[in-house]
Chains A and B, each alone.
Chain A
């Protein structure tokens, strides 16, 4: 089973297209989709549902835009509620992060890439001992053309497919 977490308010976004590519790559595999796009989402009972799905998942795919160097507020709330300090999901062997950054790689390095640290240093140690993190990022989104966007989607498809091997 693979859990896919999606967080972006617009359906007409590259992040939504990335989610679709990831789900297509996982066709035929049991998938649990956590959709954080609705700001008025009633989370009653969903925390337990998501935690139960994670405890059965071998892979986790996070699809979100990086804002202010980290995940959006809705995804941060999901981390706070589901990935509590005592939570462990030892069945997860791979985490794939598909994200976009408005600014360049250099600017993001200066900013400290806190989102990357959250995944590699907070989430990963709560997964399987040999869990690997793969970071698929499109930097400079504000200035990139359709070619780079298409290459990003292609790469997402390839890497998410690799979860199945």
Chain B
């Protein structure tokens, strides 16, 4: 029911390669839709590498050149929730998700660079960062390998959000059943 108040926006950046990532995205959309207007950024076909012209424009007043990147940046500018669905293959986030961070969260979107050259947070409006990872490694192996992906989201990205921004980290296996994926996301969603 529309109570007259505009609902907050949630943006889901999804690398949906694989059945588990695809199912997790669907469950996430369903859970977040209860309270948010949800925008899904499907990374299929999204260029993972910043181009030369984009890098040249990076420090200008118009750092975004690509229409797809602009549409992502506009969605992020309104987001109260920023969620990622990412399979983890080697170490770190999946390449499409990392490429999205590199190309979309440029100055004026993810952060600001002041006249003194210092970086200032640009995602103060984001109240929650959610990550759903498809990861078959054991906890011990994740720790031994540095858990780089978690550091990028929970520390690097978290630093450009607000003081009260909360983070949720949900791990599912690539062979998880639909019920297991639903339970994992729903369990975490109780806190959102």
Contact = CB atoms under 8 A, between A and B. Distances in A.
Contacts, number: 135
B96 A117 contact: no
A118 B89 CA distance: 12
Contacts of B54: 9
B92 A70 contact: yes
A83 interface: yes
Interface string B141-153: 0001111110110
B96 A73 contact: yes
B27 interface: no
A135 interface: no
Interface string B34-61: 0000000000000111111011100000
Given A121-B146, A142-B117, A74 B155 contact: no
A7 to B, nearest CB: 8
A67 B49 CA distance: 12
A138 to B, nearest CB: 14
Contacts of B102: 67-68, 72-73
Contacts of A76: 48, 90, 92-95, 98-99
Main secondary structure of the interface of B (DSSP, over half): helix
Interface residues of B, number: 40
Interface of A: 8-10, 13, 36, 39, 67-74, 76-77, 79-80, 83-85, 102-103, 107, 110-115, 117-118, 120-123, 142-143
Q: Give 8 nearest A-B pairs by CB, closest first.
A: A73-B99, A117-B146, A112-B151, A77-B95, A39-B49, A122-B91, A69-B156, A73-B48
Given A73-B96, A76-B98, A111-B151, 16 more contacts: A9-B52, A39-B50, A67-B102, A68-B157, A69-B156, A73-B101, A76-B93, A84-B89, A111-B155, A113-B151, A114-B148, A115-B148, A117-B146, A118-B90, A122-B91, A123-B91
21 contacts: A36-B49, A67-B101, A68-B101, A70-B93, A71-B98, A72-B49, A73-B100, A76-B92, A77-B99, A80-B94, A83-B90, A102-B119, A114-B92, A114-B148, A117-B147, A118-B90, A118-B146, A121-B91, A122-B91, A122-B148, A142-B113
